[in-house]
Each structure stands twice: as structure tokens, then as C-alpha cells.
Amino acid sequence: MKVLAIRVAIVVALLGAWEIVGRTANPLLYVPPSAAVPALGRLLARDSYPDLAEHLLLTLREILVAYALAIVAGLGCGFALGFNRLVGRAYGPILAALYAVPAVVWYPSLMLFFGLDAASKIAFGFLLGFFPITLAVLAGIRQVSPQMLVVARAFGADGLTAFRKVTLPAMLFTLVGGLRTGLALTVIGVIVGEILGSKSGMGSLINHAYGLFRTADYIALVVVTLVLIVGSDALASAVEHRAQRWTD
């Protein structure tokens, strides 16, 4: 209850400060909340951007495809490297080094390879989501205590059974954490990709409004995008909590 009160106070204070700054500054660049709220209304009423739904759906579709690819490739790569000691030792450090490179440096080449449409956004979202998932699988496999695997073997488990009954549950929490980070980064990748160069999707609308100094519309679009991001993370967080309750 107290936490909630403090949270509300912070939001109110921030909005208040924003309102004051927005009213006194250049109205072309700074828009107070009192002007942003009507803009959000116009956006949702399909007044300012009548094709909002199509753009939103396209962004969602790009995120879903990129995330699905990141999961498949991340799990595949992670398990291949994690269960094969030689390959893991050869490629593990390279992977970690690549993860440290700011991913945005790859984006121009992705646009060259995949064009300006959805494919390059999917590729960028995939690239960002792939690494944390792979690294989480690797970390998860390292976490499984060898003693638990010895116990499973002593009680008659073959390789597959030991994987199902021991390895997977033992690494589940780390794995789900990686999947959550992967989703957040995939979403970021797709939207950043759209902002950097695209004719459709939420990022392109943001870019459009911002480029035309339609600052109130721009803020309204950002709010809608934020809801999308926060919503997907809330979903992932709920899954993570379930996994946490189930595991240690």
C-alpha cells in the first residue's frame, strides 16, 4: 500500500514537472501532458494515423517471428555448445565476445542483406534475442550438479531420461530468465530497426511524427509502443515467476 502511494506520488510529480516545463518551452519541441493526452485520444480514434492497427500488427508479427527464430536458434546453439565440450570450448568465447559488441553496428549490413522491409527488422530482433537465450542455455547446463546426474544414472536413467528429469528442471530458472531477456531485446531490436529505416511498423510511425514535428502525436505513439513492450515483459515475468516457484 505504501509502495503504491509512493509510486503514484512519483508519477504525479513527474507529470507535474513535465507539464510546467512543456508549457514554458518551445511548443514545437515540448508538449505538456495536457496536450499529449488528447493526441493519444486522436491516435486511438484512428484520427491522426488511420492505419495504426496495421502498423501495430506488423510490428507484433515481426516481433513474434524474430522471437520464434531466436528461441529455436538460441536453444539449438546453446544445447549443441553446452553438451559438446570441444565445440563449446571452441565457440563459447567467440559468442561471448560477439554479445559484447553493440548490436546496432550490424544493422546497416542487415538492411543491405534483407532490404528495407520486415525481413531486416526480423533479422535485427533475432540477432538481439539470440545471444541471451544461447548464453542462458550454456549457463544453465553448467549449473546442473554432476552429483544429481550420477544419482539419476544409479537409479536407472538413460541419457534422455536424465535430461528430462534432471537437466531440464535444474536449468529451468536460468533458461526462463534468458528467454525473458531475449524477448525484451527482440522487441527493442524490431522497434529500433523500424525507427532506423522503414516505411511501416510502429517505429516508422514514430519516425514520421517526430520528423514532422508532430510532437504530441509522437508522444502518443511512444505511449502505445511502451504499452506493447511493458505488456510483453509482464507476460514473460509471469512465466518466470511460475518457473521460480517450481524450481529452487
Partner 1 sequence: MSELIVVEGVSKRYVTSSGPVDALRDISLSVGGGEFCTLIGPSGCGKSTLLGMLGGLVTADAGRVVVDSRPVERPDPRRVATVFQDPGLFPWRTTLENVEFGLELQGVPAARRRQVATDLLGPLGLRDFAAKYPRELSGGMRQRVAIGRALAIDTPIVLMDEPFGALDEQTRVLMGEWLLDIWRRMRKTVVFVTHSLHEALALSTRVVVMTARPGRIKSVLELPMPYPRAMESSELVALRAKLWSDIRDESLRAMGEPHP
Interface positions with partner 1 (CB under 8 A): 145, 147-148, 150-157, 161, 165-166, 169-170, 172, 246-248
CB of 149 to partner 1, least distance (A): 9
For residues 110 and 114, give the distance between their C-alpha atoms in angstroms, rounded to a whole number.
6
Residues 99, 119: Cα–Cα separation, whole Å: 21
Q: Which is nearer to partner 1, 86 or 154 (CB)?
A: 154
Give, in degrees to the nearest 5, the angle at Cα 107 between 119 and 230. 75
128 and 188 in contact (C-beta within 8 Å)? yes
Give whichever of 118 and 175 is closer to partner 1, judged by the CB atom. 175
CB of 247 to partner 1, least distance (A): 5
CB of 90 to partner 1, least distance (A): 21
Residue bearing cell 561471448: 96
Measured at the CA of 70, the angle between CA 141 and CA 145, to 5 degrees, comes to: 5
Q: What is the CA radius of gyration of the chain?
A: 22
For residues 50 and 156, which CB has a smaller minimum distance to partner 1 in the complex? 156
Phi-psi map region of 46: left, alpha, beta (phi>0 left; psi -120 to 50 alpha): left
Contact partners, residue 36, CB within 8 Å, separation at least 6: 216, 219, 220, 223
Least distance (Å) between residue 173 CB and partner 1 = 9
Query: Quick one: cell of 141?
Result: 547446463
Residue closer to partner 1, measured from CB, 162 or 183: 162
Alpha-carbon span 196 to 134, nearest angstrom: 26
Q: Please state, as a whole number, how many other Cβ atoms lie within 10 Å of the Cβ of residue 164.
A: 12
**With respect to partner 1, which residue has the nearer C-beta, 37 or 172?**
172
Q: How far is the CB of 33 from partner 1 (least distance, A)?
A: 47
61 or 153: whose CB is closer to partner 1? 153
Least distance to partner 1, CB of residue 142, Å: 16
